[in-house]
Structure 1
């Protein structure tokens, strides 16, 4: 259990620092990943930026994520859930377009006119406040791999569902996860305080970095 995202970030920072990454770049998944990633970046003396991912909700239940996408995609889906719901990727084209448009809006709001950070040849640390289904993290890691040849890609989270951690280990060079409770259920349950993070706080953290 973590007191809040700040405490989780401090503890996670120590574990990531033990890897001794070279030319590290920390990429946070906004919004909740920023307060965690700030501590990781400070511990590494690394620049901090964002990689924006939006979840794709199920038809009739937009809160149930069945996929995820970055601003440019391509979208990733949980194939088993699509089959169970009897929907195809084509059926979700409108939801994908909406998610990508919102991702582009957030990138512009957070980064402004600043260019994308250089990835090639760096050790990339992707940070979020937790790992539930793993779809958002998978989309983020896939985007990093697509952009350029990073030296390594590490996913760092304070807490995660065991199955999701195992799945992400297949696509990352390393997954750093402080806790993988078998009765995971939801990220928020493993924090005493888990308030919403708004765009203004994201910008404040990035300005401090």
Structure 2
């Protein structure tokens, strides 16, 4: 019986079996939590990027340990229709279970990736790695999710697995397992040290794997960096990310009490980046200015800062030709719309999430950029304010109501729905050549 010292040792040995993938367009995907230390060693040995692939089981409502399906990122969902019909589970019950599990999944994604976008699998080989395979159920779902996310080829790899699990592997084009014992009891029996992997260890390994890649990207034409933006006597802190070939960039105007570190806005930014859009998450006030709560609600001040930040984008070679969009949350939406109302504004699109769009006041009728207002159905006060504001606007507008969401979109699945609505709006209005865009357009240098 093959016994590994620990997961790191297993990863190094597994990497030798996968050496033929070095130099190919491969993304190594670790299954959290125990699969990530193994995957880290594989990625390091192959010189390949490392990411996590997160799946969640959808348990029967009355028997949660029995899976009626599973979900993954980007809306991936696999259902056992035969079991669902036999168990008499309604579509509403399926949606309820999925919403609950998707909320858990999104929270883990935010925690593990720390605001980084998912590494694209489009047209690439996905190398799905776990510390061992028992029944194969989770690994099979992960392979199907990788395919859903665009992988051209899927390889499942693990240090140890029972032969029957390998023979019945689904979704993978290739399965690589080092040890397939005839009498398989448990994965942990094949390790001297099989102590639990903590979430902190997963985060540390992902950070360590991402650091060289992010450094290389920042050094090239595609930016992913912390920036300081001079505006008058203050320096505004922000984080700029510009994916390869970006034709549009979205500037985030945060709400009161929030900042560029907001996990919700960072999640939305990651969704936009996956669609090829650049993002700038920026604090429109300095730390000292934020101490005065009056500044937080000074929409004129915030709108002026947003205009200055947009002008700064025009001074950079990598963002000068990008169409500009504004994403405003809460009070930030009022600032975004007031800035977009300026006749000289280059804003080509605006999205408000739970926004106090009414704070733009009489300037609402001057906004030319197509505007999407996303509001939760349970955020009744803000919903009514958005309806009133929409009646005053003359530009193309849409009010999208997310069912079950309150002001902060904390309910299962609601933040992802809001992010997808924003993504589709910005993709429609910011992509394409400048001549194809609505009023507003690429930012230019001063």
* Alignment counterpart, residue 77 of structure 2, candidates 66, 74, 78: 74
Tell me the residue number matched to 1:154.
155
Q: 1:34–1:166: structure 2 CA closer, same or farther, 3 Å change rule? A: same
Gaps of 5+ in 1: none
Tell me the residue number matched to 2:87.
87
Equivalent-residue separation in structure 2 for 1:109 and 1:100 (angstroms): 14
State the Cα distance separating 1:129 from its structure 2 match: 0.8
Tell me the residue number matched to 2:280.
none
Q: 1:14–1:112: structure 2 CA closer, same or farther, 3 Å change rule? A: same
Equivalent-residue separation in structure 2 for 1:65 and 1:182 (angstroms): 27
Q: 1:186–1:73: structure 2 CA closer, same or farther, 3 Å change rule? A: farther
State the Cα distance separating 1:62 from its structure 2 match: 5.4
State the Cα distance separating 1:78 from its structure 2 match: 10
Equivalent-residue separation in structure 2 for 1:57 and 1:196 (angstroms): 24
Tell me the residue number matched to 1:144.
146
Q: Secondary structure at the match of 2:77?
A: coil
Task: Tell which deviates more after alignment, 113-122 or 124-133.
Answer: 113-122
Decide whether the 8 Å contact of 1:35 with 1:205 is kept in 2.
Answer: yes
Q: Does 1:193 align with 2:169?
A: no
Tell me the residue number matched to 2:35.
33
Gaps of 5+ in 2: 210-446
Equivalent-residue separation in structure 2 for 1:22 and 1:30 (angstroms): 24
Tell me the residue number matched to 1:177.
177
State the Cα distance separating 1:58 from its structure 2 match: 6.5
State the Cα distance separating 1:10 from its structure 2 match: 0.7
Q: Secondary structure at the match of 1:125?
A: strand
Q: TM-score, normalised by structure 1?
A: 0.84
Decide whether the 8 Å contact of 2:28 with 2:127 is kept in 1.
Answer: yes
Q: 1:20–1:109: structure 2 CA closer, same or farther, 3 Å change rule? A: same
Q: Secondary structure at the match of 2:123?
A: coil
Q: TM-score, normalised by structure 2?
A: 0.42
Task: Tell which deviates more after alignment, 23-32 or 179-188.
Answer: 179-188
State the Cα distance separating 1:171 from its structure 2 match: 2.5
Aligned length: 203
Q: 1:123–1:202: structure 2 CA closer, same or farther, 3 Å change rule? A: same
Tell me the residue number matched to 1:167.
168
Tell me the residue number matched to 1:204.
204
Tell me the residue number matched to 1:109.
111
Decide whether the 8 Å contact of 1:73 with 1:100 is kept in 2.
Answer: no
Decide whether the 8 Å contact of 1:21 with 1:123 is kept in 2.
Answer: no
Structure with greater contact order relative to length (CA < 8 Å, sep ≥ 6) = 1
Equivalent-residue separation in structure 2 for 1:188 and 1:49 (angstroms): 23
Tell me the residue number matched to 2:13.
11
Task: Tell which deviates more after alignment, 87-96 or 118-127.
Answer: 87-96
Equivalent-residue separation in structure 1 for 2:191 and 2:60 (angstroms): 26
State the Cα distance separating 1:100 from its structure 2 match: 2.3
Q: 1:97–1:162: structure 2 CA closer, same or farther, 3 Å change rule? A: farther
Equivalent-residue separation in structure 1 for 2:69 and 2:159 (angstroms): 22
Q: 1:49–1:88: structure 2 CA closer, same or farther, 3 Å change rule? A: farther
